[in-house]
Structure 1
Amino acid sequence: SSLYIGAAIAKAMARQDFGAIKATVAGKSLEQVSEEVQQEMDLLKNARVDIAITGESGAGKSSLVNALQGMSDDDEHPAKTGVIETATKPTPYLYPPFPNFTIWDLPGIGTPDFKADKYRKQVKLDRYDFFIVVAERSTENDTKLIREIKKMKKRFYFVRTKVDLCIEVERDKKKFSEKETLEDIRENCEENLKKAGEPLPTVFLISRKELDKYDFPRLVEQMQKDQDFIKKDILTMFMPVLTKQGLKQKKEAMEKYIWKLAFLSCAIVFTPIPGLSLACDISILVSGMYLIYKVFGLDDESLYITAKRVGKTFEELKSAIQNLGSLVGGANSFVCTHFKLKNFLKDVMKDAENVLAKAADSDLLIVWTSPPQCQ
């Protein structure tokens, strides 16, 4: 019976010390577990994540959009950048494997067409999950914007851009200290955020040209940490990888995804249609492998983007991929699906670390997933 199979799976997991999954299965039939897993998968597939990049005109909003996409400002389809405001309406940038994951480039607040007192209604601030407020310096318009976001009881992340330019300006002074300069910039921004009603302000200092430097990795990690479990998984899967810790987080997210696929594979075994189990298992296996491959940025499109950003050739980065096996071969219910995907994930992790290491001697050490596309 399905109850017996569910118990057998629980025993198998107990031998591997899979506590969390064992708790999910305990006392439930296979049908119950499969239904819950399917609901979670549907939630992951259908949940929306809308990130708004906002701030004053010319502060570097579009450049940050491009950075989060893994694209240069001069790539084929980036968000347009320039010294004047280039976004005339909220512009969405989509991520093809997960079309409900959208980065929005909002028009600059305080321009003639987007006055601060009408900005919330004009750009429909209420529709976004959270905000990245981009500023080259703290201004009154930034303060008004943050107050509006706080009224909506939504999260925001204050990003001070172009800190590399500030460092260069200060570098010629006799008593120059990069650390002290960064502290001065941070403290100035924090004081302005306190005036906007933020009692414990957090400021992220970033350089568009050196995203691995300063606070950009911390910004990505904090955004992931602050989300609920579904949106956290979505951000973890599709945001850029800048460190080995980032790779580890992706691995953990994909391990949970693999368990869900394995349970669905197990449920299909008991569908009384000849040949359906094998066909569905193969489909589950291949789709799972493809997503893992893409999430870690090892597909050709992602490698081309990474190569361009780190100043290496596609062939150099491709040569670091040595562990991936063939996608040929069928799964066989829970055990086979689970262990095939787990082994595949191990190989992907090794290759992702190799690609990260291959880029290590360049100025920018980043592995990106494939970029979103403008709608």
Structure 2
Amino acid sequence: MDDSFDLYPEEIKECKEALMNNDTAAAAAKIHKYLENEDNIPLNIAVTGECGSGKSTFVNAIRGIKNSDDGAAPTGCVETTIDVTPYPHPNFPKVTFWDLPGIGTTRFPADQYMEHVKFERFDFFIIISADRFRENDVKLAQEIQKMKKKFYFVRSKIDHNIQDEKRIKNFNEEMTLKRIRDDCIQGLQQQGIEAPQVFLVSSFELHLYDFSLLHETLERELPAHKRNALLFTMPNISREIINKKKKAFQANIKYHAVLSAIVAGVPVPGLSTTVDLGIMATVINKYVLGFGLDKLSLQRLADSTGVPYENLHAVIKSPLALEKINVDLLLKVISQITSSGVLMAAEEGSKFLPLFGIVAAMALSFTATYKTLSFFLNSLAEDAQRVLEKSLGLETSV
């Protein structure tokens, strides 16, 4: 049984009990509540570091926007963060990255700093440095540790270091990265941090170095019900990220299909089709946003990679990518998918048959919704992979 059953076990259990008691209205309400909760899980990530460490650039990069975009965290060579500032993800606003003032630039010593920034609201802390981690970084980590919160050290601007080191004779990138990482770890250990987790990152090239490892670590150490909230905000920097998003979306299709089946049991002409289309339009919009296949996200990707928007657009095949999905558009596209269209039509007709008509309609509705959502999820995931490969200058594999 997958993790999705473990997020809100009481709601799933109550839904099953309601279905066994033929209380379809209660079952539908429980599923709706479960799905609504899924969409409203907050995740608050604190990002801090000393002046010039690159924390604001990191906040922008992980949100998929440039430093010059509207809504970007301000950057500069002087301290630009003077207070705790929230930056919601543009597509998933329940996930917020908080740009914190550097502990060495505030009026508060480390022990008061945690109270000043209201540490209890954050799920974890990312402490950023552009070179060695300083005494203030260590003090902050120790205070976070006292509060029993997770923290991670990010060594930023690694791309600058690599460029500088390339001038040296017999340059070896792997050895250079190991030396920088070991130096950071040893420095932190000497200052009293046991087993520090250090990740080497370039905010301008997230697909390189340790960003994927950072995401995997965060995902592993977050509570289960918050993992998808983090996952869907991650830039598509690898095939693994795209596949994880697809798997997470796939896990919830059964709930949408059950909700569709319950509605199909109501013998009102046209009701089931109308509700089904509404459900699917909402869900597919989430797929488009989660895979970064909306127009704004694609333009941001084009700007950040230097690959023309038209070139990225050209590899997209799904008719629902780059669109704001509504019922009319979805119905038009579904009508061109023979199996889904036939199933939905058969469902409407079958519910008025004597004896087993309602049961047949519910089964057909479940199948139609499940197959349709799976079809569009697969096609959008493939588009996301093609866009990733195009952005990285790779040969398309799908």
Place the TM-score, normalised by the shorter chain, in its bin: 0.7 to 0.9
Q: CA deviation at 1:81?
A: 0.5
Matched, 1:89 2:89: no
- The answer on whether the counterparts of 1:147 and 1:196 sit within 8 Å (CA) in structure 2 is no
Greater Cα offset, 37-46 or 98-107: 37-46
Q: 1:340 corresponds to which residue?
A: 372
Aligned partners of 2:170, 2:273: CA distance in 1, in Å? Answer: 71
Q: CA deviation at 1:110?
A: 0.8
- Of 108, 119, 123, the match for 2:117: 123
Question: For the residues of structure 1 that align with 2:279 and 2:90, how far apart are their CA atoms?
Answer: 19
Partner amino acid for 2:386?
Answer: N
User: CA 1:166–1:27 in 2, change beyond 3 Å: closer, same or farther?
Assistant: closer
Q: TM-score, normalised by structure 1?
A: 0.83
SS at match of 2:93: strand
Q: Does 1:277 align with 2:272?
A: yes
Q: What one-letter code is carried by the residue in structure 2 that aligns with 1:230?
A: H
- Closer/same/farther in 2, CA of residues 29 and 219 from structure 1, 3 Å limit: same
User: Residue in 2 aligned with 1:354?
Assistant: 386
The alignment status of 1:262 with 2:261, answered yes or no, reads no
Residues 154, 201 of structure 2: 8 Å contact kept: yes
Higher RCO, 1 vs 2 (CA within 8 Å, ≥6 residues apart) = 1
Where does residue 310 of structure 1 map in the other structure? 305
Cα distance change, pair 135–19 in 1 and its aligned pair in 2 (3 A): closer
Q: CA separation of 1:340/1:18 partners in 2, compared to 1, >3 Å: closer, same or farther?
A: farther
Matched, 1:189 2:221: no
* 1:105 partnered with 2:137: no
What residue is the counterpart of 1:234 in the other structure?
229
1:327 equivalent in alignment to 2:330? yes
Unaligned runs of 5+ in 1: 1-16, 363-375
- The letter for the 1-side match of 2:371 is F
Change (3 A) 1:168 1:98: closer
| Displacement of 1:182 | 1.6
Counterpart residue number, 2:46: 52
TM-score (norm 2): 0.79
Give the distance between the partners of 1:111 and 1:97, measured in 2 at CA.
32
What's the CA shift for 1:310?
A: 1.3
Give me the whole-angstrom Cα distance separating, in 2, the residues matched to 1:120 and 1:275.
Answer: 56
Is the contact made by 2:42 and 2:94 (CA closer than 8 Å) also made in structure 1?
A: yes
Secondary structure at 2:87 match in 1: strand
The 1:121–1:27 alpha-carbon spacing in structure 2 relative to 1, beyond 3 Å, is closer
Among residues 122, 126, 129, which one is paired with 1:135 in the alignment? Answer: 129
Structure 1 208/40 Cα, relative in aligned 2: closer, same or farther at 3 Å? Answer: same
Deviation, structure 1 residue 70: 1.0
Bigger Rg, structure 1 or 2: 2
Where do residues 212-227 of structure 1 align in structure 2 (5 Å cutoff)?
212-227=207-222
Rate the CA distance shift 1:253–1:196 in 2: closer, same or farther, 3 A.
Answer: farther
**Which sections of structure 2, spanning at least 5 residues, go unmatched?**
321-328, 335-340, 348-364
Q: Which amino acid in 1 is paired with 2:55?
A: K
- Picking from 160, 167, 177, the partner of 1:165 is 160
Please report the RMSD computed on the Cα atoms of aligned residues, expressed in angstroms.
2.8
Identity %: 38
Q: What are the superposed Cα offsets for residues 150-195 of structure 1, whole Å, 9 maximum, x if unpaired?
A: 1121211210011222233333334543322222211121123334
Q: Distance in 1 between matches of 2:111 and 2:94?
A: 30
Residues 176 and 320 of structure 1: CA distance in aligned 2, closer, same or farther (over 3 Å): closer
Judge conservation of contact 1:107–1:114 (CA < 8 Å) in 2.
no
Structure number with the higher helix fraction is 2
| Paired amino acid for 1:94 | P
C-alpha distance in structure 2 between counterparts of 1:127 and 1:323, whole Å: 40
| C-alpha distance in 2 between matches for 1:167 and 1:109 | 28
Distance 1:113 1:315 in 2: 49
Aligned residues: 346
C-alpha deviation, 1:290, in angstroms:
1.1
Rounded to whole Å, the distance in 1 between the matches of 2:268 and 2:310 is 46
1:186–1:203 CA contact under 8 A, matched in 2: yes
